[in-house]
Structure 1
């Protein structure tokens, strides 16, 4: 696996919490946990992750779940986004690794337009944004909105902000009115990213269109 991709994968793997932010401003920020867990290599025959976001008071009912394939190029780390049927079966997999064995490629459906593209801005610090095109559609109040998401990631922090916009008017429809969510790393899962896990057959340089 290319060195930059290995470094990014280890950075992404972890448990993050905004507990400190929620304590400072409990009126505007709920306590949330984010998990990015390395998947068994067999799922994608290459690097992949399971992600889960849940409120601190209700960890077994995550409000967001995803499966992700990591595609590496020399210029960008692409985190593809997949949904799956019966997500309730995977609830809690962020802290119950045995549940990850329930994930199988044939039951995944790619969320087109929703990949995150991460660029290293300074050594060990990445900025991620939804792929260009405004095609990551998220229903809200019965109407589609397109997602604009930004993440700043380093060894200690995960800072993110999600917003939804009307596809016709480009006006803001939802999103935090009080600034980004600020998570701190609670635990790292980088030890799970072994030489076997990082066996990557789809690295093709810097052209994402050639990867597959």
Structure 2
């Protein structure tokens, strides 16, 4: 029996990712990043699958950053990913590798980000999932007293269709100046290509 698409997407996402090879090949344009998608308990949302996400600049010596929540569900019109903020992201720094700290996290503790939802399409020829903001929308949220705007975009799936091929997460989130449309941060030469190093077990709904 084929694995349902939502569960397949969740199994691809759940894990630790790293772009060491990309960074070594082109260190001028690509930082060495580590990224975690740590599954949250089903009780957090009660449906679908949810993940605590954070990332780390490996060589910087700084703690993990960009803590956020992604909740994926299946709607009548297809797969959907909704991002949420945390009231104090720094308080959760390092939780991706200390998941016990996430056990008590509940939906009502999260900050709704209604403009930060992505439509997710499945590409059967490559077995890849592609997430995009609908239309030309920008994800917007308040941080450090100001409003930030981000263009969210990711693709995830096997590197090749050969059995045992590693899962690759291509991340191309970019900060955007809404007045000029210019990129203020993010990859300049194409997406970060992070290869899954470790898979986490999903919490079943």
Give 1:177-196 correspondences, 5 Å limit: 177-189=188-200, 191-193=201-203
Closer/same/farther in 2, CA of residues 43 and 153 from structure 1, 3 Å limit: same
Shift of 1:181: 0.8
Give CA deviations for 1:119-154 in whole Å, capped at 9, x if unaligned.
Answer: 0012521111123352412679x9755322221100
**Aligned counterparts of 1:172 and 1:81: Cα–Cα separation in 2:** 21
The residue aligned with 1:201 is none
Q: Does 1:166 align with 2:166?
A: no
Conserved 8 A contact 2:84-2:113: yes
Residue aligned with 1:81, SS: strand
The residue aligned with 2:95 is 93
Q: Name stretches of at least 5 consecutive residues in structure 1 with no aligned partner.
A: 199-212
**Aligned counterparts of 2:54 and 2:104: Cα–Cα separation in 1:** 15
Conserved 8 A contact 2:138-2:151: no
The residue aligned with 1:33 is 34
Q: Using structure 2 for the length normalisation, give the TM-score.
A: 0.81
Conserved 8 A contact 1:114-1:131: no
Residue aligned with 2:96, SS: coil
Q: Does 1:45 align with 2:46?
A: yes
Q: Does 1:79 align with 2:81?
A: yes
Give 1:1-212 correspondences, 5 Å limit: 3-46=4-47, 47-57=49-59, 61-73=63-75, 75-122=77-124, 124-132=127-135, 134-137=137-140, 144=147, 146-155=149-158, 156-189=167-200, 191-193=201-203, 197-198=204-205
The residue aligned with 2:163 is none
**Aligned counterparts of 1:59 and 1:107: Cα–Cα separation in 2:** 29
Q: Using structure 1 for the length normalisation, give the TM-score.
A: 0.79
Q: Name stretches of at least 5 consecutive residues in structure 2 with no aligned partner.
A: 159-166
Closer/same/farther in 2, CA of residues 164 and 74 from structure 1, 3 Å limit: same
Higher strand share: 2
Conserved 8 A contact 1:135-1:146: yes
**Aligned counterparts of 1:171 and 1:52: Cα–Cα separation in 2:** 25
Shift of 1:96: 1.3
Closer/same/farther in 2, CA of residues 31 and 172 from structure 1, 3 Å limit: closer
Give CA deviations for 1:28-53 in whole Å, capped at 9, x if unaligned.
Answer: 21111111111011111222111111
Residue aligned with 1:94, SS: helix
